[in-house]
Amino acid sequence: MKAIEEFVMDMSLMGYSENTIKNYKNTVENFLKHVSKPYTKVREKDIKKYMFKLQKEKNLSLKSLYRYLSAIKCFYSTKKIKTADNIKLPKLSKNLPVFLNYGEIRDLLNSVDNLRDKLIIQLLYATGLRVSELCNLNVDDIEEEKIFVHLGKGSKDRVVFMDENTKKLLEEYIRNRKGEEKALILNKNGKRISQRSIQNIIKKYAKKAKINKKITPHTLRHTFATHMLQNDADIVVIKDLLGHSNLSTTQIYTHVTNKYKEDVYRKSHPLSKKNL
């Protein structure tokens, strides 16, 4: 369908990840197949019936239902049609994001024995980039200690920064790499690296570092934000560095740091340790 092809193109231009584009495309295709009518003829009740069917017949969790509804809403939003705008689901309780403590991030970096792989992990931690944004970076996007992120999620360009050590690591990698000149991070064939490859790299070194947490590229983004807050960075600045549209999205990290502070207190205060 032409409408689906345009939807895929719109999501790509908005900076959605490869996995999200694939999942949203499949969801919308299945939905339109189920209702058996052109998308312009679909009404709010059709979407509600479909969500009810998913809930009852497939016994999907609320989190899964949100993913289905998000895909359908995104599709109609790109078509400038308000059919799905008023459909609501119960509020989803937010799980606190997983992040690495200082010892864990040190162990992870120290476990890497490959220049490119170390750069990948260090860049994600140093900048808070999404994995899709890192994959899409070109050499021309680097200027001294600044990285210009183009067409990130929601089509919002932004600038992120890196420390001097990460900058030197990046310069060393560019000097020594072989292959396509445009893309910044390359695979073993000299082509632009994929998100899946980066996920596997991080999984490999997390296992090597014996970190007993589920570590993904997004974990390093969470770690970046959490450590910035722990070191008294302004939450509005963190919001801009992460490329969040709304401050409420960033504020989840305040709950993480409050939990961290409570844990430190429980472990450290003499009364908590029953030393008095």
Enzyme catalytic residues = 130, 153, 218, 221, 244, 253
d(CA 165, CA 132): 23
18: left (phi over 0), alpha (psi -120 to 50) or beta: alpha
Side-chain-side CA neighbours of residue 171 (13 Å):
11
Q: Determine what percent of the chain falls in helix, strand and coil, rounding each to the nearest 5.
A: 60, 5, 35
For 133, the token pair is: 């944004």
d(CA 236, CA 20): 27
d(CA 124, CA 94): 23
Q: Are 182 and 168 in contact (CB under 8 A)?
A: no
**Residue 150: strand pairing partners:** none
